[in-house]
Structure 1
Amino acid sequence: MSEHRRPRVLSPLREHLRDTFWFAPTAGLVCAFVLWAAAATADAAIVDLLRERRAYDDIGDLTAIAEDAKTIVTTVSQAMLTFIGVVFSISLVAVQMAAGQLTPRVVRIFVRSRISKLTLTVFLSTFLFSLLVMTSYESEAEPERVTAVPLVQSVVTLMLVGLSLLLFIAYVTTTLRMMQVGPVVDRITREALRVLARQPAGGTEGVALPPETGRVAHRGRAGVLRDVHVARLVRAARRRGAVLRLIPRIGDYVVPGTPVLAVHGGRPPDAGILRSAVSVGVDRIFHQDVAFGLRQLVDIALRAMSAAVNDPTTAVQCLDRIVQFLAVVAARPLGAVVHRDRRGAVRLVQALPDWEDMVDLGFAELRACAAGSPQVTRRMLAGLDDLLLLVPEGRREPLLRHRALVEEAVARTVAQPADRAFALEPDRQGIG
C-alpha cells in the first residue's frame, strides 16, 4: 500500500486558468493601470518637491524632456494596437496550419504557452499604458503653473516598448517551433510525463471498501470529465464517514443522469459538493488525464500515416515518444489509486488506465495502419523489443501480443518474402 501526497487545493483552478487565454491579458491590463497610477504619483511628487524648493528651472528642463518623449509615446499608442493585430493574425494562421498538419489538439499548446500569453499581455499593457500617459501631459507651459510632468511615465513606456520587442522575438521563435513536428511531440511528451509524475502510484491491494450504500448521478451538462477536485471530495467523504469511488475515468464522456460517484459506507455527499468538485467540459485537458498525452501522439501518427499525408517519418517520431512514455510507466504501479485524509483513512478511489490500457492505446491503432509502411513497422518492433527488456515478467503479455499482431499484419499485407523480412527487422530509426 503506497503513501500518497495530499492534493493541492488550488490546483484545479490554476490548471483551468492555464487553459484560458483571457486571464493573463486581463490581469496585465489591471497591472498596467496600477503601474500608471504609481508612476503618475511619482511624477507629481517630483514636481511638488521641486516647487517647494522653487527650482522652476529644473521643472522647465523636465517639461522639455517630457515634451520630447511625448512624440515617442504618441507613436507607440498609435502603432501598438495595429502591431498586435498583425502579429497575432499571422500567428493564428500558423497555428491553424500546424493543427491541420498534426492534430487539432495542438492548439492547446498555443493556448497554454506562457510566452504567448506573456507577449499578448505586455503588448496590450504597453498600449493601455501609453494611452494613460497621454492623459497626463499638460498644455501649461509656465513652470510655476505645472502640476505634473510625466517623466517617470515616459521612461516606463520606453521600458515597456523595449520589453515588447524582446518578447516579440521570443514569440516568433516559439511560434515557428510550433510548426515543427519534433518540438510539438516533445512538448506533448514532457507535459504527459509531468502529469504522470503528479499522479499518486496506482494499486489498491489490501484496501477493502465497505459495502456500496448509494450512487451520486451527474446533474450538470453533458461533456468530458476533465478533472476532479480531489481535496474537496476527500473532505466531503470524511464528513460523511464514507468512501467515494469515482466511476468514470478522467477523459470519459458523461451525460446527465449517469452515476459519477459510488458511495461505500456512510451517507452520500450533497449534490452541491459534486457540482463544485467535478469539472465537465468540451475537451480533455492534461491536468489529471494521464492518457491524454499518449492519445495526442497516436493521433498525430495516425494522421501522418493517412493516404492524404503519407509521412511515415512523423509517425516514427511519435513512436519514439510513445516508447519513451511507456518506458517510464513500465515498472510503475498502475490502475486505481486511493486518496486518504489527514488521518490516513481511504476516502476516495479513482480509476486510472492500467498497463494493458496504455499499451493498447499506444500501439493498437498504429499497428493496424502500419502494415504497409516498413519504416513504421521496423520502429514499432524495435520499440516493443526495448519495452520487453524493461517491463517485469507480469507485463510482457500485451507487448508480445502486439508484436505477434504486427508480424501477422505484415504477413497479410506484404507479398514478397524479402520485403516481409525487411519490414520485420527491428530498427530504432525505422529506415536510417
Structure 2
Amino acid sequence: MSEKLRYQLLRLARKTWSRCALFSLFALMAVASSALIGPYIPESVAIKLGSDSIGSLLGILASSMLTVAIFSASTMVGSFSAVSNSATPRASQLLIEDSTVQNTLAAFIGTFLYSVIALIGLHAHLYGDGGRLVLFGFTLVILVLVVVVLLRWIDYLSVLGRLGETIRRVEAATMAAMAQRLQKPFLGGQPQPPGAQGSHAVRAPATGFVQHISMDILQARAEALGTTLHLHVLPGAFVEPSVVLASCDVDLTVEEQQAIADAVLIGAGRTFDHDPRFGMVVMGEIAARAMSASVNDPGTALDVIAAAVRTLIFWVDTGRQTAAQQDAAVEFDRVTAPRLREAGLLEDVWTPLVRYGAPAVEVGMALQRALASLRRLDHPGFNAEVEDLSRYALEKASHSNLIDREMAMLRRESAACGSSNSSGSNAEGTGYNHQHAATHASSQ
C-alpha cells in the first residue's frame, strides 16, 4: 500500500460520517445475526420472551437515542463555534477529528439504527423464541455500551471546547508532528545539498497547501528514470502553478511530470499531520486573539508561551535523542529533501506574541524569560533567532508607551538572551524578517 493511499485512508477514518457508518454496520450485523443464530438455539434453552416486552425496550432505546444523538450533534456544533471564536478556526480541526466525539455520536446513531431495524424485524415476525433470545442478549450488551458511552460523554463535556483544552490539543498535535518529522528529518530521503536544482522542473498543478508527500512514489519514478529527484517543498508549503515541486536532470514527458506531481497532495488548507510548523502557527493565532483589544486576556497568552516552550524543548530534546539513528534512516535513496527551517518554528509562534503583546509588560517579561530558556538550550538552529526575537520584542515594546521602569524590567530579562539592551535599535539591527508569514513556501 502506497503512502498516499494510507494517508487518504487515515483522513477518511477521521471523518465523522465514516465512524457513524461503521457503527451502523455493526448494528445491522447484530440484528441480522439474531435471525440467523436463533434457529440453532434449542427450545429448551430459549427463554420465552414476548415480542411486546422486547419491543418496549427497543422502543425506549430508539426514542432516547434519537434525542441524545441530536443533542450531541448540536453540542458538537456549539463546541466547534466556541473554539473558533475563543481560540482560532484552525484549532477547530482538532475537535472535529476528535475520536471521542466521533465515537460517541457514532454509538448513539448506531444504537438508534439497531433499535429501529430490530423493531421492524419483530413486527414482521422474523424471530422465533431463539431469535428473540439472541436479540435480547444483543440489546443488553448495547444498553451497557450506551450507558458507558453516555457517562464518558457527560464527563467529556466539561472540557469540550474549553480554551485551555484547545491549547493542550494543539500542543499534543504539534508534538506528534514533530516526533514524526524527527524520525524522518528528510521524509525518509537523502539530505538535500544547498542549491540542489535539476535542469528539468515539475511545477505545482494546483494552488493550495502541500498536505502530504508520498516519497515511495517519488522513489519509484526516480528509479524508473534512472536519476535523482530533488524535492523542493515540504508539507505546509503554499504552492501555485509557478512553484517548482521537484526537479531532476533528465527530460520528462507530460505523463512523467503528472506522475511526479501526483505524489504531492495539495489541499485547500494546512493540516497538523506531517507539518510541525502549523501547530506553532495555531499557537501564535491563539495568543494573538487573546491579546487583541476586544479580548485582552494576558493569561491565555501566558499559557500559550508555556505550551510553546514545552513544545520547542521537546523538539530539541527529541532531536538530540534520535540524532544517532537518523544517519542510517534513509529509506528513499534517490530522492533528496530539504531540512525543515528550525528558525521558522520560533517565528510562527513568537511573532504574533511580540506584535500584540508588546503593550502588556507581564506578557513581554514572560516572553523574554521563555526566549532565555530556549537560549539556554544552546541549539544551533534556535540561537540566532532567539536573540533576534528578543531584540525585536524590545524594539516593539519601546514603541508601545511603556514607562522607563517597565522598559528597564524588560531589558533585564532580555539580557539573558544575549540581546542588546538598547531601546533605540533600528529595524536593521533586529535581524528579523517581518514578512515571514507571506512566504510559506520559501520558509519551509
Give yes or no for TM over 0.5. yes
**Does the 8 Å contact 2:221/2:260 carry over to 1?**
no
Matched, 1:44 2:31: no
**Partner of 1:31 in structure 2?**
26
**Does the 8 Å contact 1:210/1:265 carry over to 2?**
no
Seen in structure 2, the aligned counterparts of structure 1 residues 361 and 81 have a Cα distance that, compared at 3 Å, is: same
Match of residue 11, structure 2, among 13, 16, 28: 16
**Partner of 2:69 in structure 1?**
84
**Does the 8 Å contact 2:199/2:250 carry over to 1?**
yes
Shift of 1:34: 1.9
Seen in structure 2, the aligned counterparts of structure 1 residues 208 and 241 have a Cα distance that, compared at 3 Å, is: farther
Return the alpha-carbon distance in structure 1 between the equivalents of residues 58 and 257 of structure 2. Answer: 55
Matched, 1:402 2:389: yes
Return the alpha-carbon distance in structure 2 between the equivalents of residues 421 and 210 of structure 1. Answer: 47
Return the alpha-carbon distance in structure 2 between the equivalents of residues 208 and 224 of structure 1. Answer: 24
Q: List runs of 5+ in structure 2 lacking aligned partners.
A: 321-325, 415-444
**Partner of 1:281 in structure 2?**
267
Corresponding letter in the other structure for 1:41:
L
**Does the 8 Å contact 2:192/2:339 carry over to 1?**
no
Matched, 1:311 2:297: yes
Shift of 1:191: 1.3
Matched, 1:231 2:216: yes
Return the alpha-carbon distance in structure 2 between the equivalents of residues 373 and 152 of structure 1. Answer: 66
**Does the 8 Å contact 2:4/2:212 carry over to 1?**
no
**Partner of 1:185 in structure 2?**
167
Corresponding letter in the other structure for 2:166:
V
Seen in structure 2, the aligned counterparts of structure 1 residues 340 and 24 have a Cα distance that, compared at 3 Å, is: farther
Seen in structure 2, the aligned counterparts of structure 1 residues 291 and 249 have a Cα distance that, compared at 3 Å, is: same
Shift of 1:375: 1.6
**Does the 8 Å contact 1:218/1:260 carry over to 2?**
yes
Shift of 1:222: 2.7
Q: CA RMSD in A?
A: 3.3
Q: Where do residues 96-135 of structure 1 align in structure 2 (5 Å cutoff)?
A: 96-135=81-120
Shift of 1:297: 0.4
**Does the 8 Å contact 2:83/2:166 carry over to 1?**
no
Seen in structure 2, the aligned counterparts of structure 1 residues 376 and 291 have a Cα distance that, compared at 3 Å, is: same
**Does the 8 Å contact 2:230/2:246 carry over to 1?**
yes
**Partner of 1:356 in structure 2?**
343
**Does the 8 Å contact 1:43/1:152 carry over to 2?**
yes
**Does the 8 Å contact 1:286/1:292 carry over to 2?**
yes
Corresponding letter in the other structure for 2:138:
V
**Does the 8 Å contact 1:359/1:398 carry over to 2?**
yes
Return the alpha-carbon distance in structure 1 between the equivalents of residues 29 and 327 of structure 2. Answer: 43
Q: Where do residues 244-283 of structure 1 align in structure 2 (5 Å cutoff)?
A: 244-256=229-241, 258-265=243-250, 267=252, 270-274=256-260, 276-283=262-269
Match of residue 156, structure 1, among 130, 134, 138: 138
- The count of aligned residue pairs is 403
Matched, 1:71 2:56: yes
> 317-326 vs 239-248, which deviates more?
239-248
Corresponding letter in the other structure for 1:280:
I
* SS of residue paired to 2:364: helix
* SS of residue paired to 1:280: strand
**Partner of 1:322 in structure 2?**
308
* SS of residue paired to 1:405: helix
Q: Give CA deviations for 1:237-258 in whole Å, capped at 9, x if unaligned.
A: 2222222223233222323464
**Does the 8 Å contact 1:300/1:318 carry over to 2?**
yes
Q: Give CA deviations for 1:322-361 in whole Å, capped at 9, x if unaligned.
A: 112222333748xxxxx99999662223335312222222
**Does the 8 Å contact 1:8/1:231 carry over to 2?**
yes
> 189-198 vs 340-349, which deviates more?
340-349
* Greater C-alpha Rg: 1
**Partner of 2:440 in structure 1?**
none
**Partner of 1:302 in structure 2?**
288
**Does the 8 Å contact 2:291/2:297 carry over to 1?**
yes
Q: List runs of 5+ in structure 1 lacking aligned partners.
A: 1-6, 334-338, 428-432
> 28-37 vs 123-132, which deviates more?
28-37
* SS of residue paired to 1:262: strand
Seen in structure 2, the aligned counterparts of structure 1 residues 275 and 79 have a Cα distance that, compared at 3 Å, is: farther
Return the alpha-carbon distance in structure 2 between the equivalents of residues 134 and 177 of structure 1. Answer: 36
Seen in structure 2, the aligned counterparts of structure 1 residues 71 and 256 have a Cα distance that, compared at 3 Å, is: same
Return the alpha-carbon distance in structure 2 between the equivalents of residues 417 and 20 of structure 1. Answer: 54
**Does the 8 Å contact 2:230/2:337 carry over to 1?**
yes
Matched, 1:380 2:364: no
Corresponding letter in the other structure for 2:245:
V
**Does the 8 Å contact 1:137/1:149 carry over to 2?**
no
* SS of residue paired to 1:22: helix
Corresponding letter in the other structure for 1:12:
Y
Q: Give CA deviations for 1:97-132 in whole Å, capped at 9, x if unaligned.
A: 221011111211222111111111111111111122
Shift of 1:157: 2.1
Q: Give CA deviations for 1:155-197 in whole Å, capped at 9, x if unaligned.
A: 2123223312321232343343132222221211111111111
Q: Give CA deviations for 1:244-300 in whole Å, capped at 9, x if unaligned.
A: 223233222323464322124575672453454221222211111110110110000
* SS of residue paired to 2:210: strand
Corresponding letter in the other structure for 2:96:
V
* SS of residue paired to 1:413: coil
Match of residue 197, structure 1, among 163, 168, 179: 179
Identical-residue share of aligned pairs (%):
18
**Does the 8 Å contact 2:49/2:129 carry over to 1?**
no
> 306-315 vs 154-163, which deviates more?
154-163
**Partner of 1:170 in structure 2?**
152
Shift of 1:313: 0.7
Seen in structure 2, the aligned counterparts of structure 1 residues 28 and 214 have a Cα distance that, compared at 3 Å, is: same
